[in-house]
């Protein structure tokens, strides 16, 4: 899991560096806002799925369904990983937006 997160962070760094190469326009900032909104929606959806899986795990625990409880734990872990990745994407998009704003103000 850490390798995937590190890879995501590495790609994010490359994107931030490459974003500084061109002159930003107001369309770029609108694109950045759309990407950030999309990331926020995806994070919200993932959190909802995680809450659902936690409720299912609690129900399985109450009913002594240990196999299903373990499966629910695996789903929760996967949800947390995807949520973390999407938070990283949102952070990158926010950084790109800041760079675009600076580039737009400097031009």
In this structure, the number of other CB atoms found within 10 A of the CB of residue 69 comes to 18
Say what the pTM is.
Answer: 0.70
Q: Which of 16, 18, 19, 38 lies closest to 28, judged by CA?
A: 19
**From the centroid of its chain, how far is CA 16?**
16
Helices vs. strands in the chain: H and E counts, helices first: 3, 0
Domain boundaries of the chain, sorted by first residue: 2-106
pLDDT digits (tens, 9 = 90+) for 26-80: 888 899 999 999 999 999 999 999 999 999 999 999 999 999 999 999 999 999 9
């Amino acid at each position: 899991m850490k390798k995937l997160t590190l890879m995501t962070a590495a790609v994010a760094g490359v994107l931030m560096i490459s974003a500084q190469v061109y002159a930003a326009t107001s369309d770029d900032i609108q694109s950045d806002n759309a990407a950030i909104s999309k990331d926020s929606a995806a994070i919200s959806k993932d959190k909802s799925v995680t809450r659902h899986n936690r409720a299912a795990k609690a129900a399985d625990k109450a009913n002594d369904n240990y196999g299903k409880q373990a499966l629910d734990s695996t789903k929760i872990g996967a949800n947390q990983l995807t949520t973390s990745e999407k938070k990283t994407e949102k952070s990158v998009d926010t950084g790109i937006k800041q760079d675009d704003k600076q580039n737009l103000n400097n031009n």
